[in-house]
Amino acid sequence: MTRSHPRASIVIPTYNHLHFLPKAVDTALDQSFEDFEVIVVNDGSTDDTKQWLDARRHPKLRVIHQENKGPAGAINTGMQAARGEYVTWMSADNYCASYFVEAFVAALDSNSDNSFAYSPYYVIDGQDEVQSIYFASVIALRELVTRTGHHRGNASFMYRKSVHAEVGMYNGWTCDQDMWVKILERYKSVFLIEPMYYYRIHKSMATQTRQSEIGEESPRILQNFMQRNNGGVSEQILSRMYPALLRNSRLIPSALADLSARMFNNGLRVEALSYLKVTLSSYAIDDLLRPLLNFIALSMMAKIDPMAHIQEALASNKLLTAEMKAAMISIAQGAILLNGLKSKPDIFLIEHETMPLKYDMPEIFSYTTWKNGPVNKPLPAL
């Protein structure tokens, strides 16, 4: 590729972060890889950001000044201006390693089927002191969609710019989480196992100052996901959310039980109970205990008497004998009785992440091996 079309583009949106911005820009420009560009989008900063950027000169650096449009608007401006085959963006209060671009380009080049690459990252404080390495960043689509429990977002990533033609651009205060969902429900990803990025925790970061906006928008991620999939979840989409199903389809009832609890906690209570009721009416006796307990727990949390619905679902289940149905009714009655005696409201709810996550491990790529050892395609983790 020519210089007018670099392999990679780094977009840095910034608003009043001049205290941190120089390190973000300097590390983005100081890369072991040559064929890239850096685009800084000054989103209407009221500090001295404009003056500092206008005085900064570098052949790989482009600067765009605009009126304040918010984080998503600033990212979109940068992405639309980006000329790279691969793109990423980094917050102005964070910074990247000198091998960031080289490693991510290598990871994406290693397999043309992968459109999104991501890695662990260092967690730092306001004084650049490393506090930890965040390795729990392996992305599970179901956690991105539902934002339930320890959802796994990511701060260190790069992807093919071409995906925007299908998934659209960034939107809102949860724009990153929403974008990862839209990408991963359509495209494959690769996990780069070495940390590539430094993520700063400080009082003025958006996740601290915009908690109400983020909390308000979060349930819409699941709602929009459902709308894009015709209001439901097909077996294909369910398999993207629970990769274990590709190896063992008998786990579908367990996956539906888990997904229903996540939907319930995101406000889709009617839909969640409907999925569980359909599960109770459709699967064999070996697969029904977890859905049954979740249906009871969620129904009673919603102050709905579950017994009539359970009886109706089991009555229509053609895979169960009369003896099996009677046993399930007996179990349900006992669980409902115990549910009324307990002190914790969700004690019978099967917890999230009970799925066999060993099958959810991503395709992995090692920059260290690529740089120093034999060239291998990305491998599945065990």
Residue 25: which pLDDT band, with cuts at 50, 70 and 90? Answer: very high
Region class of 149: left (phi > 0), else alpha (psi between -120 and 50), else beta: left
Residue 127 has pLDDT above 60, yes or no: yes
**C-alpha to C-alpha distances, 189 to 30, 183, 229, nearest whole angstrom:** 26, 9, 20
Q: What is the mean pLDDT of residues 353-369?
A: 72
pLDDT of residue 23: 97
Instruction: For domain 8-224+362-380, give the CATH superfamily.
Output: Spore Coat Polysaccharide Biosynthesis Protein SpsA; Chain A (3.90.550.10)
CB contact at 8 A, 10 and 36: yes
Element of type H or E holding 131: strand 130-134
pLDDT of residue 36: 98
Burial (0-12, 13-18, 19+ Cβ within 10 Å), 375:
exposed
Sketch the domain layout of the chain as residue ranges.
Answer: 8-224+362-380, 243-341
Residue 380: which pLDDT band, with cuts at 50, 70 and 90? Answer: low
pLDDT of residue 17: 93
pLDDT tens for 236-271 read 888 888 888 888 888 889 888 888 988 888 888 999
Q: What is the mean pLDDT of residues 94-109?
A: 97
pLDDT tens for 133-185 read 887 667 778 888 886 544 456 899 999 999 999 999 998 877 888 899 999 98
pLDDT of residue 196: 96
Give me the helices (H) in 30-134, please: 49-55, 70-81, 100-109
pLDDT of residue 246: 85
**C-alpha to C-alpha distances, 111 to 57, 116, 117, 180, 296, nearest whole angstrom:** 35, 11, 11, 19, 45
* Single-letter code of the amino acid located at 363: E
pLDDT of residue 84: 97
pLDDT of residue 350: 60
Handedness of CA 131, 137, 142, 146 (dihedral sign): positive
CB contact at 8 A, 61 and 40: yes
Q: Which residue has the higher pLDDT, 380 or 285?
A: 285
pLDDT tens for 268-308 read 899 999 999 999 999 999 999 989 999 998 999 899 999 99
pTM of the model: 0.85
Handedness of CA 153, 110, 76, 221 (dihedral sign): negative
HSE on the CB side for 98, CA within 13 Å? 2
pLDDT tens for 219-237 read 778 888 888 888 777 888 8
HSE on the CB side for 68, CA within 13 Å? 7
Quick count: other Cβ atoms within 10 Å of Cβ 362? Answer: 20
